[in-house]
Amino acid sequence: MTGRTRVKVCCISSVAEARLAVANGADALGLVSAMPSGPGPIPEPLIAEVAATVPPPVATFLLTSEPRADAIVDQQRRCRTNTLQLVDRLEHGTYRDLRAALPGVALVQVIHVTGGDAVAEACRAAGAGADAILLDSGDQRLAVKLLGGTGRTHDWAVSRRVVEAVPVPVFLAGGLNPANVGEAIRAVRPFGVDVCSGLRTGGRLDAEKLAAFVAAVAAADAAVRTEH
């Protein structure tokens, strides 16, 4: 890892939450569309409304569980975010299809770390054209898929192996909060960290937790720099 760890605040539910996150230094915002399970989904018209208010260079991530490239294209055109976060595997179509239809939109593939096979899966996604990888703690093998927002950490040793193996940026998600994000950064050395439930109180984005999280990220970055 070099430079500053980016902060992505996920499960944004309103224009007010987006403004709060940006004011506290968020580099990216996650906007969750319909999911089979998990927290944070909001209607697509609200995703489009929030995305339209976010100033550059802050990235807006549309979290989509659609398995078809054509459906993802249609969804992005309705929501107008500048980044797609694919929380499940593409079953029909390719990254090339998405890139041809949506020039300029970044593609981030989520890999759910359930074991060491996540390393090979991340390498395949990067090789196929994903712009970045996001490591999370879901499980696609369940009858009702868990595709994020679990509040659980996973094996950071595997995550570190992914960071070392792929040539694209890696975001780390899964159970992060102000108390453990520093340890996570030191263990994994990701390009960015991604947080949802760890910054919420009563379902709402908590300004104090958000500020503490950003401060913990900065402190970890400073500690990492002193090691080199």
3-state DSSP call for residue 32?
strand
The answer to whether residue 51 is domain-embedded is yes
Task: Please give the helix or strand (H or E) that residue 106 lies within, else none.
Answer: strand 106-112
pLDDT of residue 145: 45
The answer to whether residue 1 is domain-embedded is no
Q: Which domain holds residue 82?
A: 6-226
- Residue 92, amino acid: H
Joined tokens for residue 214: 């950003």
Average pLDDT of the residues in 181-190: 97
Given a cut of 60, is residue 141 above it in pLDDT? no
The answer to whether residue 196 is domain-embedded is yes
- Give Dmax (Cα) for the chain: 47
Count up the domains in the chain and report the number: 1
The answer to whether residue 47 is domain-embedded is yes
> What band does 218 get if pLDDT is binned at 50, 70 and 90?
very high
55 and 168 Cβ atoms separated by less than 8 Å: no
Return the exposure string of 40-62: e unless at least 16 CB atoms fall within 10 Å of the residue's CB, then b: bbbebebbbbbbeebeeebbbbb
For residue 81, give Cα distances in angstroms to 45, 46, 186, 205.
Answer: 12, 12, 31, 21
The CATH number covering residue 87 comes to 3.20.20.70
- Which of the two residues, 133 and 228, has the higher pLDDT score? 133
Given a cut of 70, is residue 1 above it in pLDDT? no
The values of phi and psi at residue 171, to 5°, are -95, 145
The answer to whether residue 172 is domain-embedded is yes
The answer to whether residue 157 is domain-embedded is yes
The answer to whether residue 140 is domain-embedded is yes
22 and 15 Cβ atoms separated by less than 8 Å: no
Joined tokens for residue 123: 């390498």
40 and 10 Cβ atoms separated by less than 8 Å: yes
Query: Which tens digit of pLDDT belongs to each residue from 116-134?
Result: 899 999 999 999 999 999 9
Q: Cα separation of 60 and 85, whole Å?
A: 10
Query: Which tens digit of pLDDT belongs to each residue from 41-73?
Result: 999 999 999 999 999 999 999 999 999 999 999
For the full predicted model, state whether its pTM sits above 0.85: yes
The answer to whether residue 201 is domain-embedded is yes
Residue owning tokens 């899966």: 121
